[in-house]
Structure 1
Amino acid sequence: MFIALRQFLRGFHKDEQGAALVEVALVAPFVLLLSAGVFEFSNILNTRLLLEAGVEDGARYMARCNDSNWSTCVTLGTNLAVNGAVTDGSPRVTGWTTPQITVTVAHNQAVDGSGNQLYLSSTGIVDVVQVSTSLPYSGIGLWGYLGFGSLNITASHQERVFGW
């Protein structure tokens, strides 16, 4: 029996038929996983860039808003951040809504305690508006499938106030 098996296996010794099929069968899962990983990472990066662009647009708008009512400026600025327009528009990122945006205004000193000038200003106080957001990532699922858990993408931007 062992002699028959040995002779059978010797027949494959110099036979190269099907070698490419075996190589493809071994390599294909890794190439597909790598491709899916590249797609997932680029989707995460694209979402982050869209969030950053939104909060930057919103902060710039609010910093230069000359409406006498601050709440109107915040409403229009957050809508600009999420939808790309102060009224209506289409969402930049699926699932991103205006309640997920946080707007804060800080009254910063133009000069710090050591005498370093932080802001060029004729007054001692400078108003700065900061817009930030956090969005749970819901992509194609490879991230969760690999066991990395949930991912929150955050972005923030601050602008010195020139309006008001």
Structure 2
Amino acid sequence: MLAKLNHMIRRFKGEDDGAILVEMALLTPFMLLLSAGVFEFSNILNTRMLLDAGVRDAARYMARCSSDWDTCKGLAQTLAANGAIDGTSARVSGWLPSQVEITKSFSTPAIDPATGTELYLSGTSNVDVVQVKTSYPYAGVGLWSYLGFGQLTLTVFHQERVLGW
């Protein structure tokens, strides 16, 4: 019996016809997982960039708007979420204008805490600054939650000096 087993093992060692099949069977799940991870990460990055563009557009609009605050705020929120003031198409699926927070603050003068440099040069002591912020719960394609991570919330913030009003 032992001789027969040794003969089968020697014969199996000499054959390499199925080696590629075994290697592919071992490697394919890892390659699929890696590919899905790259796709998910690029989708997260794309969504983050679209949110950032919307927040920047809204802050620039508010900084130059010459109408009253409430009218400009509603139009800027629509601009951020839809990419246009008329609100025809969504910039990011599920991102609503109500999720865009717009506030106005006075900076005396604005100093960057990291570098100590003055952010907005002004001849007056107060500088009006518009701050636009949003938080978006990322739904994604499911790989993120399948791997056991919690829900991902993308948060974007931008501020602009007010030039109008």
* TM-score of the pair, normalised by structure 2: 0.93
| Percent identical | 57
Could you list the runs of 5+ residues in structure 1 that have no partner in the other structure? none
Cα distance change of structure 1 residues 147 and 111 upon mapping to structure 2, 3 Å threshold: closer
Which letter maps to 1:9? I
CA deviations on 1:139-164 (whole Å, 9 max, x unpaired) are 00000000011110010100000011
Q: Name the CA distance, whole Å, in 1 between partners of 2:110 and 2:62.
A: 24
How far did residue 111 of structure 1 move? 7.0
Look up the SS of the partner of 1:90 in the other structure.
coil
Deviations 1:26-71 (A, max 9, x none): 111110000000000000000000000000000000010001x210
**Per-residue deviation, 1:12:** 1.1
Aligned twin of 2:144: 143
How many residues in Structure 1 have an aligned counterpart in Structure 2? 160
TM-score by length of 1: 0.93
How do 1:43-122 residues align onto structure 2 when only pairs under 5 Å count? 43-67=43-67, 69-110=68-109, 117-122=118-123
Please say if residues 111 and 124 of structure 1, whose CA atoms lie closer than 8 Å, have aligned partners that are also in contact.
no
Q: Pairwise CA RMSD of aligned residues?
A: 1.3
Which 5+ residue runs of structure 2 have no aligned equivalent?
A: 112-116
> Which runs of 4 or more aligned residues in structure 1 lie more than 3 Å from their structure 2 counterparts after TM superposition?
none
CA distance in 1, matches of 2:40, 2:110: 44
Q: Distance in 1 between matches of 2:118 and 2:5?
A: 86
2:77 partner amino acid: T
